[in-house]
Structure 1
Amino acid sequence: MAFFKIIYISLFVFFLSLVQEKSSYKQNHPLTPEGEIENYLNKSIHFVKIDLDSALYYANKSHKLLEDFPSGSKKFNLYKNLGTIYLERGNYTTSMEYFFEAKDIAASALLLEPKNQDYMENQLDILIQLGVAYIYQSNYDEAIIYFNDAMLYLDENKIEDQKVVSSIKIKIYNNTAVVFLQKQEFDKALDYYKKARHINAEIGNQTTEATLANNIGICYLEKKDYDLSLFFFEQSLKIREELGDKRGVAQCYNNIGKNHALTNNYAKAKEYFEKALQLGREIGNTESIINSLQSLTTLFEKTQNYQEAYETSREWTQLKDSLFNRETVKRIAQIEMNHKFEAQKELYQLELKRREVEKDKAKLTYLTIGGSLVFLLSIAVLLIFLQKSKLKNMRLFKEKLELKHLNTTLEKEKLKKELDFKNRELTTKMMYLLKKNELMQTLSNKLSTLKKTAISANQKAIQEMVVEINSKKDKDVWAEFETHFTAVHPDFYAILNEQFPNLTPNERKLCAFLKLNMNSKEISAITFQSINSITVSRTRLRKKLNIIGDDTSLSNFLNNI
């Protein structure tokens, strides 16, 4: 015994010396104003999930010190924290004021430094927090707008730290799922929770894992899969107990209680609801208290414990109404005084109403049958009208198609006539060129004959004239032909070069002649090549154009280009 006393005294002296040393250190190393602000703010954030009164106390101390400092990150963090505290306490008006103050600070900072990573994270954080605040007020459409804005901002701006990006995406997915959960769109909610959980598996954040497990449990609870919902609630509860998250533990107690109530295990349900209520009061979390009281009220009504149901209902109603309108407290108190009397009165009136319902039941049946017949008749008339309208629209559509087809046919015929006319015009011009060539050839021949009988002094001049006529003849014929041909078929050469880039200039000329359905003799007259040479060139061209067999003629092939 003496040995244990010595140990206790030694431990006491040791701890006392530590406290004194710590106190001495603080006296010798006082915190700067910025350090004090940071210290109080960190304490406030720590107590948010444990004790809201303590959280508010330290936040106010930090707020008092911050009054003399310019707006910046510390004020942003403080206002966001104060908004969260008042949100948890159920004072939505004050909460939103602080959140919007924080949003203005974040926006102002981004105007000065748009690429600052901390400021960008602050902007995302406050958008998500505002969405959460609207969820608390059951304004789900507004909440979704803020979550969508946060995701859009995240997509449009580059956050370098991928862990931060993952964490923000988890928050957005989780809170979006909460909205769908409240709207009773459970499959959509589960999809978003699973996306968030998949990302969190890489990060390993236990707080987030507990939140997601709890929310997934709620989805399965609503889907009436009670075994699976209980599994996720207990998984979340275990993590939150290890983390010391009292607010989260109270939430899990409430959900486990609901799970037991729905499986008719009322004793277990009551145990968990009361544990949740006690813990909610301990930490001062209004939302948790309301949920517990509401659940207990429902449970007491099911078990016909009307006295306790009345007590919990009264407290629940008072708290719930106070969240939205503090000025109605007196009126609520008066309503609550009359509640018991009204409840008893309703019990007496139930039997009378039941009898009235029985009397009205037959009448309602006839009215229902009559209404159903009128409804079916209206549907039939509507269907007939819709069918007639559909047939009329189909007829009009068919007539429109026929008219369009007719216009297209006429347009094609017009274009074909125009093309035939231009081809005939081009052929006429070609015949003119042929005659012109023949004339020049005749002139050349006569000059050659004249050269033989001419004196020596004139023979040289006559020969030069023959050479010039021959060279000019070939060049002018092709140039004139190409000018007229391009005017009629402007895209022919471009398409030909694109499909068959390896053709020589002479082969491209040959293609142009063949497109006009000119025969070898006519081509020979223009090019001054022999018919045999033209035939060989045509054979070579067929190979280059990959024309196999005799079924397709060169002219038909080229006319399709």
Structure 2
Amino acid sequence: MRIHTYAILLLLLSIFPLKLLAQNNAQSSVVDQINLGVKYLSEKEYIKSIEELIEAKEIALRNEWYAQAFNATINIGTNYFLMLDYGEAFRYYLKAYEIAIKHLGKSQEMAVVNNIGILYVEEKDLPKAKESFFKAYEIAKDLDDNEIIGTYGINLALVLNKMGELDQAEKYIEEALPILKIRSNVLLLAKIAKAENLFLREQYVQAERLALDILPQINNLSLINEGATVNDKITLLLLISKIYEKQKQFKKAQKYVLMARAAQLNIEERIESYGSLADLYGETNEFHKAMAYKDSVLLATDSLYAIKNMALFKSEKVKFQIQNYQNELLESKKLLKQEKQFFYTLIFSVILIMGFLLWIYKNNSLKHKQRKRIVELELAKEKSDHLLIEEKHREKVAMELLEKERLKNELDIKNRELTAKAMYLASRNELIEEVVQSLSINTQITTNTPLKNQVNDLKKHLKKDTQWDSFFVHFEELNQGFLDRLRSQHPKLTPNDIRFLTFLYMNLSNKEIASLLNITPESCRKRKERISKKMNVPEGLPLHAYLSAI
């Protein structure tokens, strides 16, 4: 039973052309040539395909177009694979692998490793096939592509089934089944691998149930390549036949082998079917049919050897033609090299002549440049004098600005001192207010008239503080004209309003202003809103910003 049906499908899928964005006309031509080679490959015209692909590969490598070079090289290997020349296929796959490692990425490396695994399967070297498929699987894991992980996991499981490592195979099958739901064909192949695993574990009833459940699904599957469906169906039919053979149900086993043989188109697959039929007819004592199928095995084997020999002859013929082509290409390169040397000599001569003419031109124009330089120096002197005058004017303006800045800084320093004094007064008043409140709630003081009178004096002191008069005089000296402008623009403001606005202009907080005026912060906030409405301050504009603009 072939264990790599889907692995072969993957290799065939890799021959379809990449959709490459051509960087220029030459690159686009190479892409078209690769597509033509792939078309010949799909039509089994291997010689034409290889000729086109090798020429495209050489051009791509020469121009360092590595994606195109990789695509051409891996398809050359596929040509040789389909011509049964596995050695030559392996050689080109290794070249493609080298390009992928040096210049491309993990996706290309993974595709080549998978194809190499298929070659090992064809050569019956299952340990090497396992190693290659496992490497492709690990790269798919790194790329975190669930579809590819599941697909390569099934390839690996099929090889492990064949090698008898059933527990490992089951692990990869169970991992792949949940992530292959959108790929109907691969999911069915995973189920076939599962049925084969059950069969190899001698769990014939479960294997039979699963295999018979899969068969109608394969018959109804029309969304994938028909060849892949047929291959999967043949694999499943042969598996069902072996299950019935192990259960001694030889007639049923014969039925499914005959169904498989009817669907098989190539001789290699029929050899296995003929061998199974010979054994089954021997079990039912139908020796004449058994002998007939034994003869069919021999005839099919001879035919297969003849086909392989013819394929190898064609392969050698292709190699000879390619060698001739490479020799012609080498001669063409030599001729091109000679043409390039002539071209470089011609360019060098032209450069020498142009250099001599340029020297004459420069010599003649040097005197003109000197005269022009004298005129430029005279103009530069006049410009320099003009710039000197402008520089003196800018220095004068700068000095005026510096003086203004100095005065502004002095004003800022005095304002900061005034603000500090206001903060001190606010802090002192707040402390006095706290003392008054503390004394007011003391029952001993409320009953002591002299002490009560002193507390009332403190309260009056909070309302009348002579130091405030000097504070506002100092404020008016520092901010000359502010209060006059404020009264002129808003004549309806009361002295208390102006006093409140003075504190706000100094950027004091509500709490600080409340402490200075001996009121609550809430009263301070309400007074601020009332004064804003009285002054018709635009809605959304802070009162402090409005005052700063006056």
Q: TM-score range by the shorter chain?
A: 0.3 to 0.5
TM-score (norm 1): 0.39
Please report the TM-score for the alignment, with normalisation by the length of structure 2.
0.39
Indicate the structure whose relative CO is greater, using CA pairs within 8 Å and at least 6 residues apart: 2
Larger Rg: 2
